[in-house]
Amino acid sequence: MKKILLSAFLWRILLFIPLIFGHLLIQYRSGFAYTSIAHFTESYNPILHFLLAPWANFDGVHYLAIAGNGYTNNGAFFPLFPLTINLLTSLFGTFQAFGPVQYFSGLFLSNAYFFLALVALHKLLKLDYKDNIVFQTILVLLVFPTSFFFVSIYTESLFLLLSLLSFYFVRKGNYWIAGLFTALLTATKFVGIAILPALLLEVVINEKILNIKVLKQKLLKLLPILLAPVGLISYMYYNSFKWGDSFFFVKAQEEFANNRTSSSIILFPQTIIRYFKIFFTVSPNQFEFWVALLELSAFVFASIMLYVAYKKGVRATYLVFATLAFLIPASTGTFTSMPRYILAMFPIFIAIALIQNKKFKLVYSVVCTVMLFLLLILFSRGYFIS
């Protein structure tokens, strides 16, 4: 565990290097000032230093706005993460939205959640794997090209932590604790609902529920897991109260002009065809061409690695969760943010660790490290990555 935390700490420090290169080499993207916290706070604010401000770019701005000012029209963002920012900031008395106290509260929480998630991942994987596989899983997660979102003011670290804790406690037979974490998970992101069938299956396996007779005898064992939708239902109720529509959070996704549909399910072939149209109509000189290539590549990579995870015998319940967490956003007509969504699909990283081909792991490590460096540079300078 010490080796894991030391590696993660070193990785976190090294993530500042791309910010230095970005500051020296690239101007902040013209027309995208609103994606930076600098757009919302005083010019003399110390958090506007180039080593600090980028960690609140894009979604970070929305989470800080919700934490400080409540919801306006930004219902696409679920409440648990900004609520925890608000609670921590409140400990320091009065505060200003987008001010130093709020910013450092958000940054501290996202980093703390991630380091706790690594501890939870270690404990969960130790139930099935040897130390070398556990360590390799965490290393391939750290070097993944979008891993910097874990320590930005984003919800990725909290989501990973809650999903891992849910699996860990259900496997240990602490179903009520697992149910509590799943309820919190569905208040963090909509895709958190993907864990419900996975945990129900886990209980069935744990309790050896092999027929209807046993199911009737142990039906109460499943009850705590059914708490999972409580977080989502609570937010739907708030949506109804605030905006007069329980599904406003779904429709709000379309406000980002990312071609995501909220009214129907779009099959993969249609979305893939759309991406090839982009490649034939958008010039490679435009940044959007490369973002589209990154998104399609992430979709293909996740598809292949989920299959590899299945072939490598990764636990079925983990695969149910990861597959559903993959299918839900991938069925909305776009692969936007797919490079970031992969971070929650931890079975993919287990599968990579289980691959014995050393050349593959070397190529993965080198390519991912270079991409992590480049994507963080671009993200820090106002270029949408995921």
pLDDT tens by residue, 304-360: 999 999 999 999 999 999 999 999 999 888 888 999 999 999 999 999 999 999 999
385 falls within a domain? no
183 falls within a domain? yes
348 falls within a domain? yes
325 falls within a domain? yes
At position 307, the amino acid (one-letter code) is Y
Is 184:231 a contact under the CB 8 Å cutoff?
Answer: yes
**Torsion, Cα of 314, 317, 322, 324 (10° steps):** 140
90 falls within a domain? yes
> Which domain range does residue 252 map to?
2-380
- pLDDT surpasses 80 at 259: no
386 falls within a domain? no
Q: Which of residues 71 and 32 earns the better pLDDT score? A: 71
**pTM of the predicted protein model:** 0.94
173 falls within a domain? yes
- pLDDT surpasses 60 at 298: yes
272 falls within a domain? yes
pLDDT of the residue at 128: 94
pLDDT of the residue at 216: 65
Q: What is the mean pLDDT of residues 32-45?
A: 83
At position 9, the amino acid (one-letter code) is F
Q: Domains in the chain: how many in total?
A: 1
Under the banding of pLDDT at 50, 70 and 90, the label for residue 30 is confident
Is 210:200 a contact under the CB 8 Å cutoff?
Answer: no
